[in-house]
Amino acid sequence: MTIQLYCFGESGNAYKAALALELSGLDWTPVKVDFFNGETRTPEYRANINEMGEAPVLVDGDTKLTQSGVIQMYVTEKSGKFGGTTPEEAREVMRWVFWDNHKLSSQAGMTRFLMNFLPEDKRPADVIGFMQGRLKAAYQVLDAHLAERDWIVGDGITNADISCCGYLFYPEPFGFDRADWPNIDRWLSNIQGLPGWKHPYDLMPGSPADRA
């Protein structure tokens, strides 16, 4: 049975789930969520898809999962990939997934939304500046960690990499320039070089161009 992933191209969290599925080789198909027209806020979506009113959502037969980190764990269970090769690596993978969710993706997602998807006169400059400062601290942590390694954990891509890269391939400005962070830039190139890698706007339906 084909796995369905409710997602939309602009979502970095959805990209983490979609990229894990795509690189795993599992059979899956995207189902577009019309986020910008309010689909996730409708009673129907909350009753039938996700009570939290969020995407991504994975549906595999009777299994329904939300939250990108949980979906990544499920992909690992199904495929045997991306979870680390030892118990120690598995714990380290989860450490970085949790760090990303709290320190990197949450900040990047909000900042990118405020800077690009709100009307220009409603963009809070003070909040954006504060968030970009927090993001800079996160980039410093990640760039330093990658100084002498190709991947965040172990000798190949894991859920740590898939999680942490979730927002860093997007072209919209939010305070991240690959050229400023040479180790992150090299690591992102490693991910791009993997067979099956796709840009989020190529992997999932929906992009700002659709609303232009």
Asked whether the predicted pLDDT for residue 212 surpasses 80, the reply is no
Give the 3-state secondary structure percentages of the chain, helix then strand then coil, rounded to 5.
55, 10, 35
Class of domain 87-192: mainly alpha
- Which tokens sit at 85? 């090769």
pLDDT category of residue 182 using cuts at 50, 70 and 90: very high
pLDDT digits (tens, 9 = 90+) for 46-73: 999 999 999 999 999 999 999 999 999 9
Specify the pTM.
0.97
- The rounded distance, in Å, linking the Cα atoms of 135 and 7 is 25
For the domain with range 3-82+198-211, which CATH number is right: 3.40.30.10, 3.30.930.10, 3.30.300.20, 3.40.50.720? 3.40.30.10
The domain segmentation of the chain, as residue ranges, is 3-82+198-211, 87-192
Q: In what order do the strands lie in the sheet with 63-66?
A: 28-32, 3-7, 57-60, 63-66
DSSP assignment string, 90-105? HHHHHHHHHHIIIIIH
Helical ranges in the chain per DSSP H: 12-24, 43-48, 68-79, 87-99, 105-116, 125-145, 159-164, 182-192, 200-203
pLDDT digits (tens, 9 = 90+) for 82-138: 999 999 999 999 999 999 999 999 999 999 999 999 999 999 999 999 999 999 999
